[in-house]
């Protein structure tokens, strides 16, 4: 069983019965899974990453973002809603204008997950390298 299938199974179990706790073969806690999923989902789209970069320089209205990214108002609103649900963007309506700015989330949990994943990959590659060194010159 791989980690991803274990995570999916554990997430489904948590969804159907929050009171029941199931062990998972993964090293990260299931409690943080939803937050990681929403953040990675929000970051998976190049337009949303562009919106974050743009808002990192200055706040903007939905109309400004739509014009900058050449997307319909409806389309940009959907992108902003996804970013807002993940905590990466906040919006405030002033009159008829909805203004956007970077949200409170700073992606520490996601950076920690990536660092942990990188360490696991490096350890695996080191083991492959050690194996190749041990078997170098050994006929098959």
In a domain, 82, yes or no: yes
In a domain, 95, yes or no: yes
Backbone angles phi, psi at 89, to 5 degrees: -135, 145
Strand arrangement of the beta sheet that strand 89-94 belongs to: 60-61, 97-102, 89-94
The pLDDT, as a whole number, for residue 109 is 87
Domain range for 50 is 45-105
In a domain, 112, yes or no: no
In a domain, 116, yes or no: no
96: domain CATH number? 1.10.10.10
Our count of domains for the chain comes to 1
In a domain, 83, yes or no: yes
Q: Which residues of the chain, if any, have pLDDT below 50?
A: 1, 7, 11-12, 14-25
Question: CA 28, CA 33: separation in Å to the nearest integer?
Answer: 8
In a domain, 6, yes or no: no
The pLDDT, as a whole number, for residue 106 is 83
Alpha-carbon distances of 124 from 115, 121, 130, rounded to whole Å: 14, 5, 10
In a domain, 77, yes or no: yes
The model's pTM is 0.65
The pLDDT, as a whole number, for residue 56 is 94
Q: Which is nearest to 109 in space by CA: 49, 53, 36?
A: 36
């Amino acid at each position: 069983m791989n980690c991803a299938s274990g995570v999916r199974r554990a997430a489904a179990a948590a969804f159907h019965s929050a009171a029941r706790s199931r062990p998972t073969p993964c090293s990260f806690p299931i409690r943080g899974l939803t937050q990681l999923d929403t953040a990675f989902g929000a970051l998976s789209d190049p337009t949303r990453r562009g919106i974050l970069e743009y808002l990192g320089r200055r706040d903007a209205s939905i109309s400004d973002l739509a014009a900058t990214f050449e997307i319909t108002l409806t389309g940009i609103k959907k992108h902003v809603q996804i970013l807002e649900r993940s905590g990466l963007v906040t919006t405030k309506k002033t009159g008829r204008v909805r203004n956007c700015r970077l949200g409170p989330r700073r992606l520490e949990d996601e950076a920690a997950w990536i660092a942990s994943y990188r360490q696991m990959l490096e350890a695996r590659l080191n083991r492959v390298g050690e194996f190749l060194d041990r078997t170098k010159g050994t006929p098959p």
